[in-house]
Structure 1
């Protein structure tokens, strides 16, 4: 499902996605207000949504989705600009699972949609440093952990690659491991940190001083 208040932008993204045989655009919306109703009618697997929209923006729409009585809430990938890193933080808290710049290449966009559909959380690397800088500036706002988290050296390395916006496939290539092994190790890191997704793992890592 595509959500963007600019018709030309929606049509452009739709045209690009038509080049990817594994993807089909099943619904569109021009405002966040329409999202919950359209999801209930079309049951999309992924929502690709602009973060800035009039009437109801992307963050408010994600909150509305989670506050609704939808039986299945699809993961949301936010489309943003380089200067929206503060909004990205708000979207993380609201429950969005992916963040891509609007000038993302088709291959990267398709990879991100597939990764988020698999259950991964993804922040485009060019956005990551700005987000991390903002989080580090807010580090004093986090509560200190009473007990140290027993992460191995390799697990800390994986955590830092997650913070850099790397997918499981990219981590496997960098660490010369199978993607299945990396997936298991990422799951172990999340379990040890007591979080349910990669974005919250990054927040926890900053809180604990790993990043």
Structure 2
């Protein structure tokens, strides 16, 4: 049997933190490594406990979730820690700053438990997770900050189908939605996404969205 995914839960509201801990500990493949109520303690516990994923709130005392994420994704720990930001604050500078700080994913606290649990599993594998609705609003708000390169999309090292998939990623579409639009299987979409990231040297879907805007593939 594979070892369970170890999760550090960081939220300053005791009731919410207890709920997250209960949901996670009920899963056979997940395990709560620790919990805390501020960002500084999260960084200290991550150094000591070495969790696979940190669930991070944004607004907290002592050290907020953005700065804690920046430390965890940087040099504050021996190995960068995967951070999944879970917060009530939607579609504002917190989303943008959390992703810039190195968060691997972003979910809202009103997401159903199944989505949260799947988010933890997704981030633990090294993949990025960004709610499609958050993506659409995020790129809409911050697109002006992304300067186009002026490069002709036809010169990019992608096939016409891969360009089509990249445009849909930039539109915030999930793999399932892309599959429905292009009338292909979700597994085929995953293959296209992997190829796109590999060809362009991108880390995840978030970088793919920014890339698409910079190269005039999204509006």
Mark yes or no: TM-score above 0.5. Answer: yes
Aligned partner (choices 158, 166, 170) of residue 174 of structure 2: 166
Residue 61 (structure 1) aligned with residue 61 (structure 2): no
- Number of equivalent positions: 206
Partner of 1:46: 53
Contact 1:76–1:97 under 8 Å retained in 2? yes
Q: CA RMSD in A?
A: 2.2
Q: Quick one: distance in 1 between partners of 2:22 and 2:43?
A: 24
User: Per-residue deviation at 1:183?
Assistant: 3.6
Q: Quick one: distance in 2 between partners of 1:71 and 1:173?
A: 39
Contact 1:158–1:171 under 8 Å retained in 2? no
Greater strand content: 2
What 5-or-longer segments of structure 1 have no aligned partner? none
* Structure 1: 4+ residue segments shifted above 4 A: none
Partner of 2:131: 124
1:40-87 Cα offsets, whole Å, 9 max, x none, are: 221111111102212211110011223435222221010123534321
What TM-score comes out, normalization by structure 1 length? 0.86
What TM-score comes out, normalization by structure 2 length? 0.83
Q: Quick one: distance in 2 between partners of 1:12 and 1:144?
A: 46
Partner of 1:73: 80
Residue 94 (structure 1) aligned with residue 93 (structure 2): no
User: Per-residue deviation at 1:165?
Assistant: 5.2
Q: Quick one: distance in 1 between partners of 2:129 and 2:33?
A: 23
What 5-or-longer segments of structure 2 have no aligned partner? 1-7
Residue 33 (structure 1) aligned with residue 40 (structure 2): yes
Q: Quick one: distance in 1 between partners of 2:106 and 2:13?
A: 19
State which drifts further: 73-82 or 8-17: 73-82
